[in-house]
Amino acid sequence: MNYLERRKMELQLYMPPLTIEKEKAESFWLPRLKQTWEKPLYDEREVVEEELFPGADVYRISYEGFDDTPVKGWFMVPREAAKESRQVPCIIVYPGYTEGAGYPEQHAQWLLLGYAVLAVDVRGQGGDTGNRLLSAHGQSKGWISQNLLENPERSYYMAMFIDSLKALQAAGRQPEVDNSRLIPCGGSQGGGLALAVASLCGLAGYEEIGLAAVLADIPNLCHIDQAVFSSTGSLTEVGQLASRHPEQLPQLLEHLACFDNMNLACRITAPVLVSVGWKDTVCPPETVYAAFNRIHARKEIRDYPFLGHEVSGAHNREKLRFALEHAGR
């Protein structure tokens, strides 16, 4: 057995203990998920004339997520499907940390498959969406430590998770979309959010939402207690906050456990495709496998032993094939 084979076996067997009891996680999330779905969406869309997309209808879309912050993004649908009044699968794209929904052409591959696309911002980061969440205390540089010391219910992570969950509701409300064939998708922060919304949908049992698949590339928000100490990515902000308030580190880790995909992933019911780079220092492979190994639904993982925090063209083709297999056209 060579090193790569041994390494793969280690990762497949990696099963750290959960950092929050199952019952406690459910009691934390279930009331909030009920409240989330009952909150009005106040969604709007406005057509955009895009000269680069003669074969698609392009809209700017917004909806209210956790609070009254308008979450913005792109909604795109193949024009042929729209003309035929044919409902199609929809990819919901969540961005990586510091990024946003980008430009419409960045998502063109899904339109070529005949899918609709909803690409959304994450509040306050690199898109067009602001952040009206009030801060109860100071934070470290970045976004994710906002209110994390004070109250997980009013934290940036809570707002980000609920915003992302409401994106599924917004996608399912579009007349061109088959709401039984939604696919949350993203890389890094976006991959973590794709796993999170799939987990929370499984926990809440939303009847209006049908997930055909989940596409999570090099996902963040996994095995967070370990990632805080090993990741070179966004979770270093938590470490900075903990260094200022060392006496509150146990409380910080307790709050973070509520948002850890390792603790949530067992509720996923849709088929999942995950990618992992073994040289990734932002989302180390142990953290990814800690969440992946907890998934009970049909799942596949693609290992890239020589890649870091990146997604290859070869894996992108794997995602397209996986989507077609589980959502059709």
Distance (Å, rounded) from C-alpha 26 to C-alpha 22?
6
156 marked ligand binding residue: no
Tell me the three-class secondary structure of 265-296, residue by residue.
Answer: HHHCCCCEEEEEECCCCCCCHHHHHHHHCCCC
Does the pLDDT at position 27 exceed 80? yes
* Span 59-107, pLDDT tens digits: 999 999 999 999 999 999 999 887 788 999 999 999 999 999 999 999 9
User: What pLDDT is recorded for position 54?
Assistant: 84
Catalytic residue positions, numbered: 188, 280, 309
Q: What is the second-level CATH architecture of the domain 15-327?
A: 3-Layer(aba) Sandwich (3.40)
Tell me the three-class secondary structure of 242-253, residue by residue.
Answer: HHHCHHHHHHHH
* Span 240-255, pLDDT tens digits: 998 998 999 999 999 9
Average pLDDT over residues 118-144: 92
Average pLDDT over residues 292-303: 98
Does the pLDDT at position 187 exceed 90? yes
Q: What rounded mean pLDDT belongs to the chain? A: 95
* Span 133-163, pLDDT tens digits: 998 888 888 899 999 998 899 999 999 999 9
Kindly give the pairing relationship between strand 44-48 and strand 56-64.
Answer: antiparallel
Asked if residues 74 and 60 have their Cβ atoms less than 8 Å apart, the reply is: yes
Q: Domain map of the chain by residue range?
A: 15-327
